[in-house]
Amino acid sequence: MFYKLKNQIISMLKCLIYISVTFLFMVSCGSVAQQQYKSHAVQKGETVYSIAKEYNISEETIYNLNPDSRNGLKVNSVLILPSSSVISSGTNNNNYREHKVKRKETLYGIAQLYNVGVDDIKKLNKELYSRGLKKGERLLIPAKANTVETTNTNTNNSLPGTQKYTVSAKETKFGIARKFGISITELEDLNPDLGELKVGATIIVPDKAVVQNDEIDDENFQYYEVKAKEGFFRLKQKFGLSEEEIIALNPYAKEGLKEGMILKLPKEKTTISQEDITTVNLENSIDNKKMKTVALMLPFRLTRSANDSTQTDQDLLKRDPTLRVALDFYSGALMAAEFAKDKGISVTLNVYDTEKSDSKVASIISRNEFKNVDAVIGPLLQKNVEKASDLLKNEKIPVFSPLSNRDMAMNENLFQTLPTDAVLQKTMILYLKEHSAGKNIIIISDSKKVKQKEMIQAAIPTAKIVSPRGGGYIQASDITAAASEGMENWVILESENPVLVSSAVNVLSAMPNNHKMRLFTLHKNDAYEWHEVSSMRLAKLNFTFPSVNKNINEDDRNPFLISYKNKYGVLPNRYAIRGFDVTYDVLLRLASEKDIYDAILPESETVYIENKFRYEKSNTKGYCNKAAYILKYNDELKFEVVE
DSSP letter at 533? S
Is 386 domain-assigned? yes
Do residues 599 and 496 both lie within one domain? no
Is 58 domain-assigned? no
Q: Give dist(CA 430, CA 459) in Å, integer.
A: 8
Residue 221, classified by CB atoms within 10 Å of its CB into exposed (0-12), middle (13-18) or buried (19+), is: middle
- Phi and psi at residue 298, in whole multiples of 5°? -135, 150
Residue 156 is predicted with a pLDDT of 46
Residue 487 has pLDDT above 90, yes or no: yes
Residue 65 has pLDDT above 50, yes or no: yes
Do residues 536 and 426 both lie within one domain? yes
151 C-beta neighbours (distance < 10 Å), count? 8
Helices (H), 593-630: none
Q: How many helices (H) and strands (E) does the chain have?
A: 21, 26
Q: Give dist(CA 408, CA 479) in Å, integer.
A: 40
Q: Give dist(CA 563, CA 332) in Å, integer.
A: 11
Q: Say how far residue 395 (Cα) sits from the centre of its chain.
A: 15
Do residues 441 and 330 both lie within one domain? no
Residue 493 is predicted with a pLDDT of 97
Angle between helices 321-342 and 2-13 (to 10 degrees): 70
Q: Give dist(CA 117, CA 141) in Å, integer.
A: 10
DSSP letter at 536? H
Residue 29 is predicted with a pLDDT of 35
Do residues 402 and 362 both lie within one domain? yes
Residue 585 is predicted with a pLDDT of 98
- Nearest residue to 337 via CA among 23, 624, 73, 67: 23
Of the candidate ranges 282-291, 413-422, 538-547, 613-622, the one whose mean pLDDT is the lowest: 613-622
521: left (phi over 0), alpha (psi -120 to 50) or beta: beta
431 C-beta neighbours (distance < 10 Å), count? 18
Average confidence score pLDDT of the chain: 83
pLDDT-derived band at 213 (thresholds 50, 70, 90) equals low
The residue count for the chain: 643
> In CATH, what number is assigned to the domain containing residue 405?
3.40.50.2300
Do residues 444 and 516 both lie within one domain? yes
Give Cα separations from 465 to 198, 433, 442, 525 (angstroms).
Answer: 50, 16, 6, 21
**DSSP, residue by residue, 2-29:** HHHHHHHHHHHHTT-SEEEEEE------
> In CATH, what number is assigned to the domain containing residue 112?
3.10.350.10
Amino acid at 613: F
Task: Give the H/E segment covering residue 642.
Answer: none
Residue 91 is predicted with a pLDDT of 41
Is 349 domain-assigned? yes
CB 437 within 8 A of CB 416: no
344: left (phi over 0), alpha (psi -120 to 50) or beta: left
- Locate the DSSP E strands across 526-614: 544-547, 604-607, 612-613
Task: Give the H/E segment covering residue 330.
Answer: helix 321-342
Angle made by CA atoms 112, 215, 177, in degrees to the nearest 5 = 15
Question: Mean pLDDT: which of 52-56, 194-198, 453-457 is highest?
Answer: 453-457
Residue 223, classified by CB atoms within 10 Å of its CB into exposed (0-12), middle (13-18) or buried (19+), is: middle
The partner residues of 350 in beta bridges, in order of sequence, read 20, 295
Amino acid at 384: N
Question: Mean pLDDT: which of 242-246, 288-292, 444-448, 577-581 is highest?
Answer: 577-581
- Phi and psi at residue 139, in whole multiples of 5°? -110, 150
More confident call, 227 vs 477? 477
If you average pLDDT over residues 454-467, what whole number do you get? 88
The pLDDT tens digits of the residues spanning 519-546 come to 999 999 999 999 999 999 999 999 999 9
Domain hosting residue 440, numbered range: 422-547
Residue 36 is predicted with a pLDDT of 54
Residue 215 is predicted with a pLDDT of 56
If you average pLDDT over residues 156-185, what whole number do you get? 78
Do residues 296 and 211 both lie within one domain? no
- Nearest residue to 574 via CA among 331, 338, 372: 331
- Locate the DSSP E strands across 451-576: 464-466, 488-494, 517-520, 544-547
pTM across the whole model: 0.62
Residue 180 is predicted with a pLDDT of 83
Residue 239 is predicted with a pLDDT of 77
Of the candidate ranges 61-65, 86-90, 258-262, the one whose mean pLDDT is the lowest: 86-90
Do residues 604 and 458 both lie within one domain? no
Amino acid at 399: V
Q: Give dist(CA 426, CA 217) in Å, integer.
A: 25
Q: Give the contacts of 227 (CB within 8 A, at least 6 positions apart).
A: 259, 597, 598
218 C-beta neighbours (distance < 10 Å), count? 9
Residue 145 is predicted with a pLDDT of 47
Residue 389 is predicted with a pLDDT of 96
Do residues 159 and 231 both lie within one domain? yes
Residue 639 is predicted with a pLDDT of 92
Among 547, 576, 597, where does a domain finish? 547
> In CATH, what number is assigned to the domain containing residue 482?
3.40.50
- Locate the DSSP E strands across 354-432: 375-377, 399-401, 414-416
Do residues 591 and 499 both lie within one domain? no
If you average pLDDT over residues 56-71, what whole number do you get? 76
Among 486, 517, 547, where does a domain finish? 547
The pLDDT tens digits of the residues spanning 350-371 come to 999 999 999 999 999 998 889 8
Do residues 104 and 136 both lie within one domain? yes
Angle made by CA atoms 443, 445, 449, in degrees to the nearest 5 = 125
Report how many domains make up the chain: 4
Do residues 405 and 427 both lie within one domain? no
Coil, strand or helix: which one is 111?
A: helix
Among 517, 547, 577, where does a domain finish? 547
Q: Give dist(CA 537, CA 614) in Å, integer.
A: 33
More confident call, 397 vs 264? 397
CB 572 within 8 A of CB 331: yes
The partner residues of 547 in beta bridges, in order of sequence, read 629
Is 54 domain-assigned? no
Is 513 domain-assigned? yes
Residue 392 is predicted with a pLDDT of 96
First to last CA, the chain: 35
The pLDDT tens digits of the residues spanning 317-337 come to 777 889 999 999 999 999 999
Is 565 domain-assigned? yes
DSSP letter at 162? E
CB 584 within 8 A of CB 336: yes
Q: What whole-number percentage of the chain has pLDDT above 90?
A: 43
Is 137 domain-assigned? yes
Amino acid at 600: I
Question: Mean pLDDT: which of 46-50, 221-225, 301-305, 352-356 is highest?
Answer: 352-356
Do residues 563 and 584 both lie within one domain? yes
Is 182 domain-assigned? yes
pLDDT-derived band at 37 (thresholds 50, 70, 90) equals low
Residue 285 has pLDDT above 70, yes or no: yes
More confident call, 91 vs 382? 382
Q: What whole-number percentage of the chain has pLDDT above 70?
A: 83
Q: Give dist(CA 377, CA 364) in Å, integer.
A: 14
